[in-house]
Amino acid sequence: MSKEIATVSVGDIEKMALAVAKSGMFGVRTPEQAMSLMLIAQAEGLHPAIAARDYHVIQGRPALRADAMLARFQAAGGRVEWVDHTDAKVSARFSHPLGGSVLIDWTIERAKNAGLTNKETWRAYPRQMLRSRVISEGVRAVFPGVAVGTYTVEEVQDMSGSPVVSGGAVADLDPVEAILAAPDVDALKAVYVEAVKRAKKSKDEDLLGRIDEAKNQRKAELTTAIEVSENE
């Protein structure tokens, strides 16, 4: 996190923002959305293009992917040890030299009491959703500097009521957004198949290309997250 990144000019960021918005990927629909995320990334000492990788825009709200939040925490010297990882309970101990150590747990009962489990994604992927909540709470408790003013994709979806991925169904969510929001590899496969069917039915070759790009991006992100967790 301390590695210095050369400042990118506003003009170059504008060009990147236009390209990202035109691609339709990452949930970014307008150059203004892309520009805002890229300026945030640069202010955090990251290359503006990182915003497209780590953030996702849901109903106009920027959200940091849970795996990206965890990766930032670990890159800043944080450690996580997973204790429970089931559909009923996920818990982990988070520690950082500057913030001490804390054990965070989320249970399906707690999620029910919070009114979260009536959503399709919670019913289909309870373990992954509980994991995202644990990551968000744990990182903020021990070293909030890597997540100031941001929520995870799952939290924003819960707050906004945005349609989410369920059992491979893209529902009302944009196919590219649905792929980028897939909580795990199995869900990614199912959502990808459904998205391709929709694109072929509409004979949208451009959408097919963006779907493939999104699938490859999300697959790489999920694979990296799994490797990091296994090495802890």
Query: Which tens digits make up the pLDDT trace of 43-70?
Result: 777 777 777 667 766 656 667 778 888 9
pLDDT band at 170 (very low <50, low <70, confident <90, very high): very low
Q: Which residues form the domain of 83? A: 65-162
Two tokens, residue 48: 């503006």
Residue 231 covered by a domain: no
Q: Which residues contact 116 (CB under 8 A, 6 or more apart)?
A: 122, 129, 158
Q: How far is CA 77 from the centre of its chain?
A: 21
Specify the pLDDT at position 165.
Answer: 40
Q: Are residues 90 and 110 both part of a single domain?
A: yes
Q: What is the pLDDT of residue 6?
A: 57
Which is more confident, 36 or 56?
A: 36
150 belongs to a structural domain? yes
User: Does residue 84 belong to any structural domain of this protein?
Assistant: yes
Tell whether 73 and 121 lie within a shared domain: yes
**Angle, CA 166 vertex, CA 161 and CA 169 arms, to 5°:** 110
Phi, psi at 154, each rounded to 5°: -65, -40
The token duo for 56 is 């996702």
Q: In the predicted model, is pLDDT for residue 74 greater than 90?
A: yes
Same domain, 141 and 53: no
Q: Kindly give the residue spans of alpha helices, DSSP state H, lying in the chain.
A: 10-23, 31-43, 50-54, 66-75, 108-113, 120-124, 126-142, 153-160, 175-180, 185-201, 205-231
Average pLDDT over residues 151-156: 66
Same structural domain, 16 and 42: yes
Return the higher-pLDDT residue of 104 and 42.
Answer: 104
Residue 1 lies in a domain: no
Judging by beta carbons within 10 Å of its beta carbon (0-12, 13-18, 19+), is residue 60 exposed, middle or buried? Answer: exposed
- pLDDT score of 36 more than 90: no
Q: Burial level of 232, CB count in 10 A (0-12/13-18/19+)?
A: exposed
- Evaluate whether residue 106 is within a structural domain: yes
Highest mean pLDDT among 39-53, 138-152, 169-183: 138-152
Task: Judge contact between 122 and 106, C-beta under 8 A.
Answer: no
Q: Which carries the bigger pLDDT value, residue 185 or residue 113?
A: 113
For residue 4, being part of any structural domain is answered with no
Domain count, the chain: 3
Domain shared by 71 and 102, yes or no: yes
> Mean pLDDT of all residues in the chain?
77
Which pLDDT tens digit goes with each residue over 90-146? 999 999 999 899 999 999 999 998 888 887 778 888 898 899 899 989 998 999 887
Kindly state whether residues 112 and 181 are assigned to the same domain. no
Q: Which of 23-32, 170-179, 221-230 has the highest mean pLDDT?
A: 23-32
Mean pLDDT value of segment 150-176: 54
